[in-house]
Amino acid sequence: MDDGEKARPVRAVTIQKEKRPVRLPYIGTLSSQDIKKYSFKMPGKIAAIRVEKGQKVKKGTLLAQLDPTDVGFAVSDAEHTLRKAKEAYDEAENFYQRIKALSEKGSVTGDDHDKAKLNRDVREADYRRAQVDVDYKKNLAADLRMYSEVEGYVIELLNKPGEITGAGYPVVVVRTDRQIVSVGVSQKDVKRLSIGMKALLSVDGVEGAGLISNIAQIPDLQSRTYTVEVELADKLARSDFYLGSIAKVWFEVGEKEAVWAPVQAIQNDGLEYVYVVENGHARRRTVMLGAIEGTAVEVSGLEPGEVLVTEGMKDLHQGMPVAIVEQR
């Protein structure tokens, strides 16, 4: 070293052993705990859609309505059929009772009696079916209005007013307000996770927190990772995140007591190394890195109490004199 070499100004920090949370960083996708597809029980013309895509709905919110005209005709037709069936049954019953009375007196044959009874039984079955059909059509008429059964957000409108929809075909799709993030976790890391463990999340810079609600016991056949579901305990501040939005996830798997160094102090020329200050001079120290927590990284090769250079490392070399302008 040149004795006349000028001291390089640096900022430094005194290294301490401390406990920090250990977090496993992952990327996941935002989805919903449940997706409800709402449909009408009967075909018909859609009279109105009462919600908009992206709208938040509460349980009981009116979603859509069918035109009552067709249903009214269907109920009227069913009631007309029921009246006719009732008349036919009453007539067959009265005739059977007359034949039965004559049969008991021996005035008609057993064959005539059996035919009358069979006709009465057939007409009664027709009447019962007509009753069931009327009840069914009236129940359908009561279902002309579609209501949300959950609190959540409308994510899809599959029809427009004036269009014909079939029975059972989805018209409105609602996702529940229970948000989850699905994450593919490696076999090594999944062993460190458990149901109820805390996780931190961030979507487009909006932060939230959650708990692990499910851990798949069988890996995905393609990625060979295990799907872990995190249900948000704190809802994200924004409601307009699309299903499939990318989320950053940090699983909190415990605490670790170690020597931690600011990430910006670490340099690499094929080996990770740092500079420490000893007796006013820079000393290069090779280190090994461990867990990363925020802006700090676990390091082996440093001892508590050593002074680590955090700024001004550029062009430093072994033995160069340094002047600490700020030390934390």
Rounded CA separation 218/225 (Å): 9
CATH of 24-34+177-254, one of 2.60.120.10, 2.40.30.170, 1.25.40.10, 3.30.70.2740: 2.40.30.170
Rounded to 5 degrees, φ, ψ at 177 are: -80, 0
CATH 1.10.287 fits 69-142, yes or no: yes
Q: Could you state, in order of their start, the residue ranges of all structural domains in the chain?
A: 8-20+256-327, 24-34+177-254, 36-67+147-175, 69-142
CA angle 14-16-22, nearest 5°?
A: 130
The amino acid occupying position 42 is M
Q: Is 197 helix (H, G, I), strand (E, B) or coil?
A: coil
CATH 3.40.30.10 fits 8-20+256-327, yes or no: no
Question: What is the pLDDT tens value at each position of the chain, 328 positions in all?
Answer: 455 678 889 999 999 888 888 888 899 998 766 788 999 887 889 999 999 998 889 999 999 999 888 777 888 898 999 999 999 999 999 998 999 888 888 887 888 888 999 999 999 999 999 999 888 888 777 778 899 988 888 889 999 999 999 888 999 999 876 778 999 999 999 999 999 999 998 888 888 888 999 999 999 888 899 999 998 876 665 555 667 889 999 998 888 888 989 999 999 988 999 999 999 999 999 999 987 777 888 899 999 999 999 998 888 889 999 999 888 7
CA angle 166-242-179, nearest 5°?
A: 95
The amino acid occupying position 281 is H
Rounded to 5 degrees, φ, ψ at 127 are: -65, -45
Tokens 């605490």 identify what position?
Answer: 255
Helix runs in the chain, H state only: 68-105, 110-142, 187-190
* Residue 266 tokens, joined: 């670490």
- Count the neighbouring beta carbons within 10 Å of the beta carbon of residue 185: 23
Strand order in the sheet with 62-66: 145-147, 62-66, 44-49, 164-165
Q: Is 179 helix (H, G, I), strand (E, B) or coil?
A: strand
Q: Is 108 helix (H, G, I), strand (E, B) or coil?
A: coil
Q: CATH assignment of 36-67+147-175?
A: 2.40.50.100
The amino acid occupying position 283 is R
